Structure 1
């Protein structure tokens, strides 16, 4: 069974934080070669702070995917690190949350025989459900072109607010992701097509991973 749940920065245990930040280093530095800060084999930055919440996707007590959430009114990557990638950034008025550091560890997913399942879409649904539970109007995030394509394929009715270029001169997008029931059902239906048993469509999420038929 795979579970996705939230953990605040202050509640993250030393063991789990080491696991999470080590995975982030292997993904964002080693695999993607992003300009990220690493120390003692871990990746973390100034946005890992007491106002941060992490969504952790766990299978057999092992993290296989995660993302980071910060209220847009607090210091975040959109108005901080990534701001220089765009000619301008206009944050919508309202109660929004920023998502960053989205990853799925491909090696762990494969080793745990979870590679046939839509782990990315499960994590999308988790972010949407968390945002709904805490009354956010939507999710703001900056993504690469590759992630933009993955999100489009999920069916999520995203809106491109701005387009920019990263430090590698690659396309990046500032997106607004709606969290209404229509988009919740779109993501649920996408997951169900893979023969995944979703035990509860609200927060938190629990999936039974059965063999596809």
Structure 2
């Protein structure tokens, strides 16, 4: 399994993988979780996909996208402030240059390989490591996100607990919560699965990391 970073200048180059990503998001958020999201034949997407985000993708050896997340600088328009301000106790994110927003995180949990003994899926841990790795390499030390209570529990199980930015709020058919996550070496080492290669030893022009 590889972690592939798709920066805005590489969206066209990796358009086939991004098409898979949008279909995965439709399957997870639209079909499985039944969130109120816009799904078309091309998959799930929203207005934040038009803001030139960086995507983190978990890709299998046969080039199947099994995990994804969308990253945008928190100083720009964010899903938290624009779409879910009710999750912020202060009504504002108080963004800084060292903060990045992660959204649309999902993993194909039907993938059999990589799960065992009740542990978190390899793809989930690989995605966590990839997000932290990219954030540190690009000058971010804090990740903000809006998620649900189920995913908050997954973060706790991964020993990467989220600091809440407000009380949980019922949104649609789920209970959502906002929070911050540290992007530092300690957090990376806690979530990093065996065999993950750090961005610091890779060709930055390729921006590919992997987990065995």
TM bucket by the smaller chain?
0.7 to 0.9
Matched, 1:101 2:93: no
Structure 2, unmatched stretches of 5+, are: 203-207
Matched, 1:139 2:138: no
RMSD: 2.1
In structure 1, what is the Cα distance between the partners aligned to 2:80 and 2:168? 12
| Deviation sequence 1:158-182 (CA, Å, 0-9, x none) | 3112123132364322111111222
Per the TM alignment, residue 27 of structure 1 is displaced from its structure 2 partner at its CA by 0.6
Per the TM alignment, residue 157 of structure 1 is displaced from its structure 2 partner at its CA by 4.2
Contact 1:51 1:74 in 2 (8 A): no
In structure 2, what is the Cα distance between the partners aligned to 1:198 and 1:51? 27
Per the TM alignment, residue 121 of structure 1 is displaced from its structure 2 partner at its CA by 1.8
Structure 1, unmatched stretches of 5+, are: 209-213
In structure 1, what is the Cα distance between the partners aligned to 2:173 and 2:32? 18
- The residue that corresponds to 2:156 in the other structure is 152
Contact 2:156 2:162 in 1 (8 A): yes
Contact 1:6 1:55 in 2 (8 A): yes
Contact 1:8 1:50 in 2 (8 A): no
In structure 2, what is the Cα distance between the partners aligned to 1:170 and 1:14? 31
In structure 2, what is the Cα distance between the partners aligned to 1:201 and 1:53? 15
Per the TM alignment, residue 76 of structure 1 is displaced from its structure 2 partner at its CA by 1.8
Contact 2:8 2:54 in 1 (8 A): yes
Contact 2:80 2:87 in 1 (8 A): no
- The residue that corresponds to 2:186 in the other structure is 182
Change (3 A) 1:29 1:199: same
How many residues align structurally? 198
**Which structure features the higher share of strand residues?**
1
- The residue that corresponds to 2:197 in the other structure is 199
| Deviation sequence 1:116-172 (CA, Å, 0-9, x none) | 443212211111111100001210001100000000111114311212313236432
